[in-house]
Amino acid sequence: MAKRVYLFNEGSKDDRDLLGGKGANLCEMTSLGLPVPFGFIITTGTCREFFQAGNKLPTLLEQEYRVALDLVEKKMGARFGDPENPLLFSVRSGAPVSMPGMMNTILNLGLNDEITEGLAKKTGNPRFAYDSYRRFIQMFADVVMDVDGEKFEHEINQYKSTHGKTLDVDMSADDWREIVRIYKTLVDFPEDPFEQLKMAVEAVFLSWHTPRAIVYREMNNIPDILGTAVSVQSMVFGNFGDDSGSGVAFTRNPSTGEHQFFGEYLFNAAGEDVVAGIRTPLPVEALGERMPGVYDQLFKTQALLEKHYRDMQDIEFTVQEGVFYMLQTRSGKRTGRASVKIAVEMVKEGLITESEALMRVSTDHVEAFLHPMVDPAAKTDIVATGLAASPGGSTGQVVFSAEEAEDEAAQGHSVILVRRETTPEDIHGMRVAAGILTELGGMTSHAAVVARGMGVCAITGCDALSVDYAAGTATTTDGVVIKRGDIITLDGTSGEVMLGDIAKTEASSSDDFQTLLSWADKHRRLKVRANAETPEDAAKARELGAEGIGLCRTEHMFFAADRIDVMRAMILSESREERQTFLDQLLTFQHDDILELFRVMD
């Protein structure tokens, strides 16, 4: 029987397929001697066993993880389920490929009425104990028991309003105790910590198949068969008091790629408060002002991790009573421009090779240099979100047909073509549109494929919209009506639809980008040729560095509005002579275009 449970000191960063990315990195940080609260990991293979058995845990799994749990208790000097000296756990997902926020997490697991009272006595901090308890009840009910989380939010907001409280930090121990009493009327909550743990493991496994996780895997080409590991880690508490807190940080700026430590921190707050945006966090430098020793430890840790992993890291940490703990590290998500800058600078710093730098930058990252982008700081009035089918940012007046698009564009207007879906007959409108928005269709739909080929910003599958051609409107699920002629902005990178003209950052190259391209020329073995059949496409291909045309589909030469009718007439001709007349016209079009293609390609 394969081993199903691994302690944090039994794995490494190379065990991602077995322990998931989160678990493998927790093991790696433990081996580096970093202050990681101890725990264990249930493998991805166990997840696959769970699904193969009809969503049932393997018979001996609980026995296996109880052995590991005993060792964690000895390491941490506390006992799970013991009111006198309680040990609590976080239970988190962790796939082999990072899927941030897509699956489930449960924090403060192991609390019940008796243990919460014991925690209050042990710590001398009843406010902290009952704050932790109410967080656990709400999270467990939502994630594990599928109780609508809005019920809990309604109760806490109503309580705050009635008692003149605004923020969580305004709540006293008695306030949280009353909230716990109210919460327990909403859910039949399990009091046994070991039953809580078993249910939490099952819930994390099941979260592999939540709709958001499935969509994320489809978008990022992550195989469904991988499964998720479960990391069970001893809890440390950022909400213990003013000498505690939680933060998230990046070893470099994830937006710009600049080599500067970048992060946010909240005093007297749990980690989910930072991530969920419940309170506005402070710059991570605020920690240095109040607790310089802890900040120095954090700064040295982030530098060590970046050097060790040879990549920009996204880290989560907690401070409890002035003691620093590391909870997670992973390669940080970054913008396209940041990706290029980081890759180039890391080569210059000797961390990675030129070849590795080229592999770090995806085609999606490169596209950031080819299209105008919506300024993230200027985004307002987001009314709908669809699939980010073709990147860039575009603004224009709404039209509902290809003919309208052509007419308005001929008058010098920037247009956004809004359709339920597009067909090849819309090509003349698509080619003049600044952006394309469809209610239906996916990332491989006609609109998406053609838009990417033309370098036009596009959002497809925006099912928050209902397009009515007859009325000339697109209505969102929230009741916002977008009419013909209204100005909207599309962010083809995020899939967001916004009202009005939102500021853009213009497409431009950079010294780092040119350096990366020079390395690509130096190391590549393939020649790059374009898929182009019109002089316009050929000219764009040359501008972007193509060395020739690899595929020229001549039928596309006849899609223009002044040519498509000739093609149709040829098909519908009733005699050989009539057909030859139209073929001669088509030959002239093709002859002229091919000559122009040769001229453009030099």
CA atoms within 13 A on the CB side of 47: 28
DSSP, residue by residue, 221-244: T--TTS--EEEEEE---TTSSTT-
Q: Is the pLDDT of residue 547 over 60?
A: yes
Residue 424's pLDDT is 62
Give the 3-state secondary structure of residue 97.
coil
Beta bridge partners of 265: 247, 282
Residue 146 burial (10 A CB sphere; 0-12, 13-18, 19+): exposed
Q: Is the pLDDT of residue 200 over 50?
A: yes
More confident residue, 98 or 294: 294
Mean pLDDT score, 99-107 = 82
Beta strand 415-419 with 435-438 is parallel
SS3 for 338-382 is HHHHHHHHHHHCCCCCHHHHHHHCCHHHHHCCCCCEECHHHCCCE
Unique residue bearing structure tokens 């469809």? 438
353 and 375 Cβ atoms separated by less than 8 Å: no
According to the per-residue pLDDT averaged within each range, which of 39-43, 330-334, 500-504 is highest?
A: 39-43
Residue 520 burial (10 A CB sphere; 0-12, 13-18, 19+): middle
Nearest to 347 by CA among 368, 361, 336, 331: 361
Residue 368's pLDDT is 67
Percent of the chain with pLDDT over 90: 64
Instruction: Compute the distance between CA of residue 189 and CA of residue 136 in angstroms, rounded to an integer.
Output: 11
Give the 3-state secondary structure of residue 92.
strand
Cα-based distances in Å from 308 to 18, 298, 312, 474: 21, 15, 10, 51
Mean pLDDT score, 184-211 = 94
Unique residue bearing structure tokens 């939680």? 246
Q: Is the pLDDT of residue 444 over 60?
A: no
pLDDT confidence tier of residue 575, bands split at 50, 70 and 90:
very high
Q: Is the pLDDT of residue 449 over 70?
A: no
Percent of the chain with pLDDT over 70: 95
Q: Over the stretch 2-46, which tens digit does the pLDDT of each residue have?
A: 899 999 999 999 999 999 999 999 999 999 999 999 999 999 999
Instruction: Compute the distance between CA of residue 333 and CA of residue 85 in angstroms, rounded to an integer.
Output: 39
Q: Is the pLDDT of residue 278 over 60?
A: no
233 and 39 Cβ atoms separated by less than 8 Å: yes
Enumerate residues 6+ apart whose C-beta is below 8 A from 162: none
Beta bridge partners of 489: 395, 498
Stretch among 1-15, 189-203, 205-219 having the lowest mean pLDDT: 205-219
Mean pLDDT score, 202-216 = 87
Mean pLDDT score, 543-556 = 84
Beta strand 39-42 with 229-234 is antiparallel
Residue 473's pLDDT is 95
Stretch among 111-120, 264-273, 449-458, 517-526 having the lowest mean pLDDT: 449-458
Residue 382 burial (10 A CB sphere; 0-12, 13-18, 19+): middle
Instruction: Compute the distance between CA of residue 205 and CA of residue 213 in angstroms, rounded to an integer.
Output: 12
Tokens of 187: 């859910």
Beta strand 504-505 with 373-374 is antiparallel
Q: Is the pLDDT of residue 282 over 90?
A: no
Other CB atoms closer than 10 Å to residue 187's CB: what's the count? Answer: 17
What are 195-199's contacts with CB under 8 Å, separation 24+? 196/109, 196/110, 196/140, 197/65, 197/80, 197/89, 197/91, 197/109, 197/110, 197/232, 198/57, 198/62, 199/140, 199/144, 199/145
Q: Is the pLDDT of residue 229 over 90?
A: yes
Residue 269 burial (10 A CB sphere; 0-12, 13-18, 19+): buried
Mean of pLDDT over the chain:
90
Mean pLDDT score, 327-332 = 92
Task: List helix spans (H) across 507-575.
Answer: 511-523, 535-543, 561-571
Q: Is the pLDDT of residue 276 over 60?
A: no
- Name all domains of the chain by residue range, CATH numbers in brackets: 5-235 (3.30.1490.20), 236-334 (3.30.470.20), 337-368+508-525 (1.10.189.10), 373-505 (3.50.30.10), 526-600 (no CATH)
Direct distance between the N- and C-terminal alpha carbons of the chain, in angstroms, rounded to an integer: 66
Q: Is the pLDDT of residue 134 over 70?
A: yes
Tokens of 395: 């603004």
387 and 460 Cβ atoms separated by less than 8 Å: yes
Beta bridge partners of 264: 248, 283
Instruction: Compute the distance between CA of residue 450 and CA of residue 435 in angstroms, rounded to an integer.
Output: 12
Q: Is the pLDDT of residue 277 over 50?
A: no
Beta bridge partners of 109: 89
Cα-based distances in Å from 73 to 89, 234, 323, 324, 419: 11, 9, 19, 20, 60
Note the Cα 5 to chain centre separation in Å.
Answer: 29
109 and 196 Cβ atoms separated by less than 8 Å: yes
Residue 148's pLDDT is 86
Q: Over the stretch 64-92, which tens digit does the pLDDT of each residue have?
A: 999 999 999 999 999 999 999 999 999 99
H/E run at residue 5: strand 5-7
Q: Over the stretch 382-425, which tens digit does the pLDDT of each residue have?
A: 999 998 887 788 999 999 999 999 999 999 999 999 999 887 66
Q: Over the stretch 354-381, which tens digit does the pLDDT of each residue have?
A: 999 999 998 878 876 776 788 888 888 8
Beta strand 79-80 with 86-87 is parallel
Tokens of 177: 């105790």
Unique residue bearing structure tokens 């932790």? 132
